[in-house]
């Protein structure tokens, strides 16, 4: 869930934009401004940029490049307008209708066996022989000894006899 849209009073938006465009008239003709320009105007209006909850977020909706902004592409959401009411309205999720032919899950195979008095079926675990890797366990003792001799590994002593 995203953040709720910020809605401003009409007098605040008009006052701020009038002061901003008076201080930086080149912005209306396509010029750019920086974050610090907005904070200067906030101080002129009488707001503290570090503690204010009325920070003008709509002024940063049209980014030109890193740290530079152009005149806002979107206007601020003003309280009482239909756009602001739509932005603040809770979003209702629409649930899809389930089909009438939905599968009904019955009891599992093991629960059916248990109900009839039989033990449950055990799941099989793959052994080394089931793995399709090239594992060859058909090597005899003599073959192992000849391989050890071939690679200079010494004599193989079977201590299990």
pLDDT reported for residue 108: 82
Residue appearing with tokens 């248990």: 114
Among 75, 74, 69, 86, smallest CA distance to 13 is for 75
pLDDT reported for residue 33: 92
Among 55, 52, 58, 53, smallest CA distance to 77 is for 58
pLDDT per residue rounded down to tens, the chain (161 residues) = 556 677 888 888 889 899 999 999 998 888 899 989 999 999 998 888 887 677 888 888 888 888 899 888 777 778 778 777 777 666 667 676 666 665 667 788 888 888 888 887 877 666 655 556 565 666 555 666 777 777 777 776 767 75
pLDDT reported for residue 90: 66
C-beta pairs of 12-18 under 8 Å, 24+ apart in sequence: 12/54, 13/58, 13/75, 13/76, 13/78, 15/45, 16/41, 16/42, 16/45, 16/56
pLDDT reported for residue 20: 92
- CA–CA separation, 41 vs 18, rounded Å? 10
């Amino acid at each position: 869930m995203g953040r709720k849209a910020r809605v401003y009073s009409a007098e605040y938006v008009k006052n701020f934009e009038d002061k901003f465009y008076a201080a930086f008239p080149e912005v209306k003709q396509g010029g750019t401004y920086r974050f610090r320009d907005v904070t200067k105007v906030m101080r002129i209006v009488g707001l503290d940029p570090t503690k204010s909850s009325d920070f003008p977020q709509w002024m940063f909706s049209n980014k030109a490049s890193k740290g530079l902004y152009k005149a806002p592409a979107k206007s601020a959401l003003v309280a009482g307008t239909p756009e602001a009411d739509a932005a603040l309205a809770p979003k209702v999720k629409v649930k899809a209708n389930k089909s009438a032919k939905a599968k009904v899950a019955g009891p599992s195979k093991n629960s059916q066996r248990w109900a009839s008095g039989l033990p449950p079926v055990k799941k099989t675990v793959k052994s080394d022989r089931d793995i399709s890797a090239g594992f060859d366990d058909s090597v005899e003792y003599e073959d192992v000894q000849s391989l050890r001799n071939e690679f200079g590994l010494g004599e193989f002593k079977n201590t299990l006899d």
